[in-house]
Amino acid sequence: MQSFFSFFRLFACTAAFFALPVLAQPVIPGVLSSEKAAVSAPAAVSAPAPTASPAEEPGIECATCHKEQFDNMAVSRHGASGDARTPWGKAGKEGRNEMCTACHGKADEHMEDPIEKKPETSFNKKTKAEDKNKPCASCHVGGNRMHWSGSPHESSRTACSDCHKVHIKKDPVLVMETQPGVCFTCHKDVRSHTMRVSSHPLRSGQMGCTSCHQPHGTVGDSLLIKNTVNETCYTCHADKRGPFLWEHPPARDECTNCHQPHGTNNAPMLQVRTPYLCQQCHMAVQHPSAVYSGNNLPPNAAGDKILAQGCPNCHVKIHGSNHPSGVRFMR
């Protein structure tokens, strides 16, 4: 009898186990039995909404003809698609990246007839500088460009594309070693100065034109990065800043009274070699006003005024002195 009850309990547990999936289904009023399977089945994952294919992005079709420019843009700063500030990352009205059309504008007619029709904005010689600058000014505003309006370059109808090359990995005007070559395209007189014996290290790439000048406009003269010539020079030549106990007025007034910053044949970039440079101001009696020439070379007298550095052979602190006895800039 005991074995019979044990078998019965085993049979009841087995039946209950197989009945669980059926009992677990929820009873929904008004739902037919044929619909229960659909209710009990897990909901299907909805497919993602279709996105625009790369071929639909404005500018992709440009690569068909302009592949070199397209590939160069892809590795440049303007081609950073993950940066919403760039032309290739800026979203248009339809939510797609504007790419080439961000700067060149609409080009539907150009796509249909590439020979006769041009994009809305073409960066060629026939296009006005104002029209070529508009796409650039739509992003590049403020900061170092806040004084562009009315600046010498803007007034002379200089376009951004005259100096900057965007269809390239590295813009030459932004690289210190190649920047002077871009500026020398127009400023040929300055180029000739830099080829002289004494000049700033532009040819070696240790500094560029923008080390002293801000081409997009400033509030000072000659597009200098500071308000005055001396303030600009002091960014590197801080030892000449002073203040000094004994000031040298020409040096305090302006560095270019004695120096030509783009280069001369008189080291260190002096306008005129010494002692003749000093005698333009110092005409007092005794040796300042004496006439020096080749006759003063050794063994004749006054050789120290005509050889080596000239007057600075003795007046070594010519920019100013803090010595109590430095009134003659000799210490």
Task: Say if residues 38 and 44 touch (Cβ distance below 8 Å).
Answer: no
Single-letter amino acid, residue 165:
K
What pLDDT score was predicted for residue 90?
76
pLDDT tens sequence across 227-284:
999 999 999 999 999 999 999 999 999 999 999 999 999 999 999 999 999 999 988 8
Q: Please give the mean pLDDT across all residues of the chain.
A: 83
What pLDDT score was predicted for residue 231?
96
Distance CA 257, CA 318 (A): 13
What pLDDT score was predicted for residue 256?
97
Q: How many CB atoms lie within 10 A of CB 239?
A: 9
pLDDT tens sequence across 118-142:
898 889 888 999 999 999 999 998 8
**pLDDT level of residue 35 (50, 70, 90 thresholds):** very low
pLDDT tens sequence across 149-180:
999 999 999 999 999 999 988 999 999 999 99
**pLDDT level of residue 41 (50, 70, 90 thresholds):** very low
**pLDDT level of residue 34 (50, 70, 90 thresholds):** very low
Q: Mean of the pLDDT values across residues 72-95? A: 81
**pLDDT level of residue 10 (50, 70, 90 thresholds):** low
Distance CA 317, CA 213 (A): 28
Give the 3-state DSSP-derived string for the chain, with helices as H, strands as E and coil as C: CHHHHHHHHHHHHHHHHHHHHHHCCCCCCCCCHHHHHHHHCCCCCCCCCCCCCHHHCCCHHHHHCCHHHHHHHHCCHHHCCCCCCCCCCCECCCCCECCCHHHHCCCHHHHHCCCCCCCCCCCCCCCCHHHHHHHHHCCCCCHHHCCCCCCHHHHCCCCHHHHCCCCCCCCHHHCCCCHHHHHCCCCHHHHHHHCCCECCCCCCCCCCHHHCECCCCCCCHHHECCCCHHHHHHCCCHHHCCCCCEECHHHHHCHHHCECCCCECCCCCECCCCCCCHHHCCCCCCHHHCCCCHHHCCCCCCHHHCCCCCHHHCCCCCCEECCCCCCCCCC
Task: Say if residues 260 and 271 touch (Cβ distance below 8 Å).
Answer: yes
What pLDDT score was predicted for residue 11?
52
Task: Say if residues 179 and 210 touch (Cβ distance below 8 Å).
Answer: yes
Backbone angles phi, psi at 246, to 5 degrees: -115, 105
Q: Mean of the pLDDT values across residues 98-120? A: 88
- Residue 61 burial (CB < 10 Å; 0-12/13-18/19+)? middle
Residue 109 has pLDDT above 50, yes or no: yes
307, two tokens:
């050889």
Residue 3 has pLDDT above 60, yes or no: no
- pTM across the whole model: 0.75
pLDDT tens sequence across 307-325:
888 899 999 999 999 999 9
Distance CA 52, CA 80 (A): 19
What pLDDT score was predicted for residue 300?
81
